[in-house]
Structure 1
């Protein structure tokens, strides 16, 4: 595999930092090629500005359109282009972060804001002019896996846990970002109780991650519904014959 490991934690001596280094080392020992984007060590700029697109200051900035134009003209900022080169090379993306206030750290959200621009990560159209997304599109054929640490106990991120079920919390990233761009998404890895892990517990947690990494080439993705599978009507509403008693996030998973 060609793996891009994207990670966002400010402390290299943290649990996340240790798992990141161990995971990269394991993948390389297994013969996979790995490139990394350690956003804090890179001091990655997470803020979208007109400079990202070489956009004239006197013109109104419409971000989606400016991104597509910059991709077409090859005038994107060099730090964005560098991340595009890594993504183009990779067939597998690992996204690792601590869960802060039910979401990604700002630096990681900003990476997606700046790197997943129109014309690169989305905006591909079929012969009839329809947008290819949710299982199709510019990054189709790639796979991704999210590794997330959380202070909550494992049960607290389960189906009836007070924190909400993990895949529902990750739905904006896994479905609305990665799957939207055509990337198959594997079940996430949860490192629970991260604030209470003692040094003696680390080998067990590292071993759990190692097993998931060893299984990575063969793991089946989450069964999200494709936009163009016939499951949705022209307004992109799930047809009534599919999961008729299910609403919300769960409706967008195939039942078989």
Structure 2
């Protein structure tokens, strides 16, 4: 017969503190990504690091580098955190992230970048403005070059202001492949950039957008007009799109 006092104490107690180890030991796992396998390191509060396996190299070296950089032991994780696998397949909101080691500026840059929809791109200057630091374009580039969780925070969707896709931590080819996988027509964007077109507007709505904005994609050829800058678009009587917020 169960002792009622022991039963009451058991009900009041928290589950056995497996979380105690989780607070001091991170977990690693290897999972499929959009361009091949990726290594992920997960802490108690979320994903701390994500790297394409082909870029990160041998697993042992990757884990040893993580230990030395972060001063934390790491062991195999029992399972993928909720949301990680769907996010890597392009679905869902994604897992919790642990970006507590970053500066407030870096966290804000990544938060802005995370809001760029799939299939759309934004220039570095737009990210700087949305993060509240319009003059910090170079600093934005540095933050994104060191993004600890690419694919989850889609820095591949940030490009140069001249229309060139720019670089990526695992190589330009990966950036191009990720964008094309999301349906971005890079050849079309390059042609627009070569013609000096940075924004497109509809003469039926009087709204001007980034070319990859979902509103811009619905503009028919007869009603589409290109502009080299927002200032020129405003001078022609257009207002900026409230969704893509061109700068």
TM class by shorter-chain length? under 0.3
Greater strand fraction, Structure 1 or Structure 2: 2
Q: Which has the higher contact order (CA 8 A, sep 6+)?
A: 1
What TM-score do the two structures reach when normalised by structure 1? 0.21
What TM-score do the two structures reach when normalised by structure 2? 0.21
